[in-house]
């Protein structure tokens, strides 16, 4: 019997949530540390590095938030019985695709379709 997709999605969601909490705490510390600094990002040799790190962390955090939303959407599809069904053609999504991308909304043929945010 194949593993329950809801269990897998819940486990991934819990792990991602924990990672996101850590990333948000890191960002808060980074911002707090720079508040008391008079560093000029443009002219301070360390300023560009700090700005780059802040930018990278912000991008990673935004990506994690989007993936968390995708996991929530997938869990909603599990709950309503549509998980594993292509939103474009209505055909089953191959198990290999769901293994690689548990949040996939479409089959391989329709990956990248406007309704598939995470092709």
Q: How far apart are CA 106 and CA 30, in angstroms?
A: 39
DSSP state of 93: P
End-to-end alpha-carbon separation of the chain, Å? 27
pLDDT of residue 51: 77
Q: What per-residue confidence (pLDDT) applies to 41?
A: 54
Is residue 103 within 8 Å of 71, Cβ to Cβ? yes
pTM of the prediction? 0.78
Predicted pLDDT at 3: 73
Q: So where are the chain's domains? A: 5-82, 84-119
Question: What pLDDT, on a 0 to 100 scale, did the predictor assign at position 40?
Answer: 54
Cα–Cα distance measured from residue 9 to residue 90, given in angstroms and rounded to the nearest whole number: 21
Q: 10-residue block means of pLDDT along the chain (119 residues)?
A: 83 97 91 67 62 89 97 97 95 95 95 64
């Amino acid at each position: 019997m194949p593993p329950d997709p809801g269990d897998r999605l819940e486990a991934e969601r819990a792990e991602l949530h924990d990672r996101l909490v850590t990333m948000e705490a890191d960002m808060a510390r980074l911002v707090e540390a720079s508040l008391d600094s008079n560093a000029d990002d443009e002219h301070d040799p360390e300023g560009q590095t700090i700005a780059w790190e802040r930018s990278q962390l912000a991008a990673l955090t935004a990506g994690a938030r989007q993936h968390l939303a995708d996991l929530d959407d997938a869990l909603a599809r599990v709950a309503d019985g549509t998980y594993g069904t292509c939103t474009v053609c209505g055909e089953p999504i191959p198990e290999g695709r769901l293994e690689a991308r548990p949040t996939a909304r479409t089959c391989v043929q329709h990956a990248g379709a406007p309704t598939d945010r995470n092709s």
